């Protein structure tokens, strides 16, 4: 039995193939920020890999009085 060492990649630009490191970017024709996006087949090495999408949201709030002081 062949044992394949699992390799993971991480990118905040878009998915990256864990086999050949081909970097996809968010301006390519797929919707890389959708949570239903769970797999990709690399167009360079033709291997299929799993994709996990993590979305982070944050807020910055400023008191209205602070905005008036800046004017």
Please write the tens of the pLDDT for every residue from 28-38: 555 566 667 88
Relative to beta strand 39-41, strand 48-50 is: antiparallel
Nearest to 17 by CA among 44, 55, 53: 44
Instruction: State CA 29 to chain mean position distance.
Output: 14
Whether 2 shows a pLDDT value over 70: the answer reads: no
Please write the tens of the pLDDT for every residue from 6-30: 689 998 888 899 999 999 886 655 5
């Amino acid at each position: 039995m062949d044992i394949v060492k699992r390799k993971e990649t991480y990118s905040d630009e878009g998915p990256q193939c864990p086999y050949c490191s081909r970097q996809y970017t968010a301006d390519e024709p797929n919707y890389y920020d959708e949570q239903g996006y769970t797999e990709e087949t690399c167009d360079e090495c033709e291997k299929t890999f799993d994709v996990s999408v993590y979305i982070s949201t944050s807020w910055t709030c400023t008191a209205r009085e602070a905005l008036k002081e800046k004017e």
